[in-house]
């Protein structure tokens, strides 16, 4: 039974991957590139130690972002606001960390906490608006994203928080090395794997544990599966909405940290601001399951990283974005088809089993 379920849940992404690869091949043929060369060089490059290290680093960021999104998804809350939550969280983390001269552990702990609190607080606005004023979180988080960008530029451009870290680059003061979490060179000597990679594994396990092994997790999943049944079972829906949004925002607050603490040491105006949307896509691919999300994040990072190799081949790097888009849309459709068939076949098999039972009696 369970093996079958695992099998069917792998079926959808497999279909998605296959179809989007096929579509990509068609595009490549149309633009006159050699399909086999492109795919094989993507693969060869993507499996080199350096590229794999980069991939894991990028996947760490994506993983956290998708996790933040999926906490909400689990109870049908659409936190489209991870973008706003993580940029503010990362900025706050950068400001705090750059002003700390503490031992690494203490400094990191404080940085993480600050980023999480800020992310949670920003998500909390949307939660409050939903619970107290009935405003859909979809729309409020989108608005809050725009507002966050405005706040960030104000802080960096017009307050003393922003300095010119190198010529023409404006950002927060550099974090002292004691406050950084650089990482270890596991695969490639020149490309360390972020320390946050390991932290995010722990967070992933914690997420799984919280959702599947705690009462809170049960309440959350129950609300997602049926709000009315959850309510009848004693779940207070408003409280769940607030706690879930805060939790989602707290994880979102961490999204920028792998890059901040592993790489830049400053929140500058070059800091990417759209990892939240990536997170949504990956959460969909991974079906809100931490393992699935991890695989999705790695796939996404693979496509991102190997697109660099693609342009050297003369193929626009945006082909990987197209692949990503195709994978998402095909996978969500095939998930839906597979799910329907699964429910149907389970019903049929129950009925069959029962007929047999009755026949025996």
105 versus 150: smaller Cβ distance to other proteins:
150
204 versus 265: smaller Cβ distance to other proteins:
265
Residues 63-92 touching other proteins, rule: CB under 8 A, are 78
45 versus 106: smaller Cβ distance to other proteins:
45
Q: Does 357 bind other proteins (CB under 8 A)?
A: yes
Residues 154-183 touching other proteins, rule: CB under 8 A, are 154, 156-158, 164, 166-170
Q: Does 44 bind other proteins (CB under 8 A)?
A: no
Among 151, 187, 201, 243, binds other proteins (CB under 8 A): 151
**With CB under 8 A as the contact rule, which of the stretches 27-35, 109-117, 198-206, 244-252 interacts with other proteins?**
27-35
CA 114/CA 349 separation, integer angstroms: 52
Minimum distance of other proteins from residue 110's CB (angstroms): 24
Residues 281-300 touching other proteins, rule: CB under 8 A, are 281, 284
What is the distance between the terminal CA atoms of the chain, rounded to a whole angstrom? 24
Q: Does 108 bind other proteins (CB under 8 A)?
A: no
Torsion of CA 113, 117, 120, 121, to 10 degrees: -170
DSSP 167: T
CA 4/CA 283 separation, integer angstroms: 22
Q: Does 270 bind other proteins (CB under 8 A)?
A: yes
Among 36, 153, 185, 206, binds other proteins (CB under 8 A): 153
Could you tell me how far CA 290 lies from the centroid of its own chain? 10
84 versus 179: smaller Cβ distance to other proteins:
84
> Could you give the C-alpha distances from 288 to 7, 38, 62, in angstroms and in order?
17, 31, 13
Is residue 115 within 8 Å of 256, Cβ to Cβ? yes
Longest Cα–Cα distance of the chain, Å, equals 84
- Comparing CA positions, the residue from 194, 258, 255 lying closest to residue 53 is 194
Among 12, 54, 180, 250, binds other proteins (CB under 8 A): 54
Minimum distance of other proteins from residue 296's CB (angstroms): 13
Minimum distance of other proteins from residue 345's CB (angstroms): 8
Torsion of CA 164, 170, 174, 175, to 10 degrees: 160
Size of the site for other proteins (CB under 8 A): 121
Q: Transcribe 311-357 into DSSP letters.
A: HHTTS-THHHHHHHHHHHHHHHHHHHHHHHHHHHHHHHHHHHHHHHH
CA 289/CA 204 separation, integer angstroms: 9
17 versus 269: smaller Cβ distance to other proteins:
269
Among 3, 6, 101, 133, binds other proteins (CB under 8 A): 133
Q: Does 124 bind other proteins (CB under 8 A)?
A: no
Among 123, 180, 251, 328, binds other proteins (CB under 8 A): 328
Residues 191-250 touching other proteins, rule: CB under 8 A, are 212-219, 221-222, 225-226, 228-236
Place of tokens 């600050």: 114
102 versus 121: smaller Cβ distance to other proteins:
121
Q: Transcribe 246-299 into DSSP letters.
A: HHHHHHHHHTTHHHIIIIISS-BTTS---HHHHHHHHHHHTTT-HHHHHHHHHH
Q: Does 319 bind other proteins (CB under 8 A)?
A: yes
Element (H, E) at 123: helix 104-133
199 versus 222: smaller Cβ distance to other proteins:
222
109 versus 226: smaller Cβ distance to other proteins:
226
Among 107, 288, 307, 338, binds other proteins (CB under 8 A): 307
Minimum distance of other proteins from residue 7's CB (angstroms): 15
Q: Does 47 bind other proteins (CB under 8 A)?
A: no
Is residue 122 within 8 Å of 84, Cβ to Cβ? yes
């Amino acid at each position: 039974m369970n093996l079958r379920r695992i099998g069917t849940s792998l079926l959808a992404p497999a279909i998605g991957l296959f179809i989007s690869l096929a579509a990509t091949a068609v595009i490549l043929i149309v633009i006159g590139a050699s399909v086999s060369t492109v795919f094989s060089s993507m693969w060869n490059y993507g499996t080199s130690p350096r590229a794999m290290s980069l991939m894991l680093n990028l996947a760490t960021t994506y993983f956290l972002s998708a996790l933040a999104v999926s906490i909400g998804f689990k109870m049908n809350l659409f936190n489209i606001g991870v973008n706003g939550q993580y940029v503010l969280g990362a900025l706050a983390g950068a400001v705090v960390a750059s002003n700390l001269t503490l031992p690494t552990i203490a400094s990191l702990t404080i940085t993480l906490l600050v980023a999480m609190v800020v992310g949670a607080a920003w998500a909390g606005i949307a939660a409050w608006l939903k619970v107290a004023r009935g405003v859909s979180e979809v729309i409020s988080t989108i608005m809050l994203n725009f507002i966050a960008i405005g706040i960030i530029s104000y802080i960096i451009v017009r307050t003393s928080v922003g300095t010119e870290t190198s010529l023409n680059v404006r950002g927060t003061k550099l974090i002292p090395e004691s406050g950084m979490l650089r990482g270890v060179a596991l695969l490639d000597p020149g490309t360390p794997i972020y320390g946050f990679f390991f932290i995010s594994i722990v967070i992933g396990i914690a997420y799984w544990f919280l959702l599947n092994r705690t009462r809170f997790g049960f309440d959350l999943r129950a609300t997602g599966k049926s709000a009315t049944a959850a309510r009848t079972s004693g779940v207070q829906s408003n409280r769940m909405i607030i706690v879930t949004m805060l939790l989602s925002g707290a994880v979102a607050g961490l999204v920028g940290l792998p890059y901040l603490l592993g790489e830049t040491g400053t929140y500058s105006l070059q800091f990417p601001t759209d990892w939240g949307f990536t997170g949504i896509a990956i959460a969909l691919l991974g079906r809100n399951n931490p393992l699935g999300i991890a695989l999705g994040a790695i796939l996404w990072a693979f496509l991102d990283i190997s697109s660099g190799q693609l342009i050297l081949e003369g193929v626009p790097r945006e082909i990987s974005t197209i692949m990503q888009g195709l994978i998402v849309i095909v996978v969500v459709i095939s998930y839906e088809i597979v799910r329907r068939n699964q429910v149907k076949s389970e019903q049929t098999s129950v009925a069959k089993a029962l007929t047999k039972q009755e026949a025996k009696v």
